[in-house]
Amino acid sequence: GIMEYMIESSVTIHDDILQKQLSANADDKMRNIVATIQREQNLIIRNEEFSSLIIQGVAGSGKTSIALHRVAYLLYSHKDTLSSSNILIISPNKVFSDYISNVLPELGEERISETSMEAVLSDVLDNKYRYQTFFDQVSEIVEKKDSKLIERIKYKSTLEFVHLLDKFLLHVENTYFRSVDVKMKYITIPGQYIAEQYRRFFRYPVRKRFEVMTEYITEQTDILYRVRFTTTEKNMLKKEITNMFAGNKDLQLYKDFFEWIGNPDLLHIRKNRTLEYSDMAPLAYIRSALEEQKTYTQVKHLIVDEMQDYSPIQYKLIQKLFPCRKTVLGDISQSVNPYGSSSAEVIKKSLANAEIMKLCKSYRSTYEIIELAQYISKNPELEAISRHGEIPGVLFYPDESSELSAIAGLVSGFRKSKYKSLGIICKTEELAEEMFAKIKSYDDKIYFLSKESVNFPRGIIVTSAHMAKGLEFDEVIIPQVNDRNYKDEMDRNMLYVAVTRAMHKLTLTYSEKPSSIIASLYHGK
């Protein structure tokens, strides 16, 4: 045979060899991405200098593909110490995981485990609480515009909140333990002596001190006074010492925090002791600080997708739980909850030894679609590639019935086109479900993608902007872009996400009065 490549394992892998390795089993789309890997993307794939790599990539920049190629590269270059079982993806929903899981097998790797932020936080809390999901939180904000809820979310999504919580935990450590004398069978242990042992073992998390304090006190009692405690007596002493600490209940401590800062209204526990999504991470943070730190040591590389949708307190906790290398990726312009989002710069402050790398060129959409996206929400860092296509349609209809008929016509046109995927993206899941119920009478091979979905179907999909995040379609239709559905900054973000899902063809439709976000665009039928 003919030798095509020779690799000397002690030296850095050269670009052409890396590209060949990454291209080996990929589909045509992935080969195109690999073939056009730029220097900035190559640096991301092979970067091993920093513990945490933060990839700020504009819509369509290929950041997810690059992150997955990075995984393939790491698995290849560290095959003796790293396997797919050591890698975990924190992703926004199960459908997205199914969507991206198809890429790694094509690269010749096994499927990688995934989880959600809610699942991680609930695990830290021993699955003791009912909680609102991130999806439900976003839906509530979009549909109800609750100003008090927004205020609570905004407050808990700042670095200052983390700083105050750390100060409060120090306050708890210093003031919540009040020692008293403990009368045992043959001896009374002075409260002052117990307090000295509490300070002696300051390196232990507070709730873990009580056991070592008990062991030390019983040992000293035996040595100094020849009094030996039975197991039952030891357990009783430990219980007495534990009860001297007024912070043994996580939720009560969390309530105390808001009293301590003088703003108890910032905590709202819902019916059946259900936590709001924004309270899960702070509560888990409190538990992690006071108890022996739980770590996921089997995870040697963590991938966090849609990084903009997580708050500083969540990143601080992730740093504690996963003391491994991390690849964190997303786009601040695509946040579906701007009240609780984090920029790359804020994330960098929350993670250890982190570096930001930016991907500014968008490969997904045509130049004309990117122009419309920029009109909706200007991103000065976004650079469109020179791939031209149809000008996006912004179409007016006199009533909803006419609009629906027109959408059915667009679906029929898609069936006759060369395109393989069509996304009909509505603002909310409720609107998407209504649209699906109406449009399926025109075409029975249409799928509804909801928050409950676990698989990503091919063909024509009706879904919400939130569920569409991270996905892409040859053609996109965005219905009902009227002044009732799209009117504020959060709505603008949702519309931007929906628009940037389109690769080749995009149509916005509305009846009655157009959204002010698109009001000055050309309106034609």
Give the Cα separation of 125 and 121 in Å (integer). 6
Using the structure block, give the residue that is written with the tokens 């976003």. 138
Angle at 396 between CA 393 and CA 401, to 5 degrees: 120
Which of 27-36, 52-61, 111-120, 307-316 shows the lowest mean pLDDT across its residues? Answer: 27-36
Position 470 scores a pLDDT of 85
Average confidence (pLDDT) over 396-409: 95
Structure tokens of 345? 């710069």
Nearest CA to 455 out of 114, 111, 91, 98 is that of 98
Model confidence at 35, pLDDT cuts 50, 70, 90, reads low
Nearest CA to 207 out of 255, 162, 171, 250 is that of 250
Nearest CA to 478 out of 446, 513, 502, 448 is that of 502
**Strands 460-464, 422-426: pairing kind:** parallel
pLDDT at position 510 over 60: yes
Model confidence at 66, pLDDT cuts 50, 70, 90, reads confident
Give the DSSP letter of residue 163: H
SS3 89: strand
Which H or E run includes 327?
strand 325-330
Give the DSSP letter of residue 424: E
Domains in the chain, start-ordered, CATH in brackets?
A: 16-127+292-362 (3.40.50.300), 178-244 (no CATH), 368-521 (3.40.50.300)
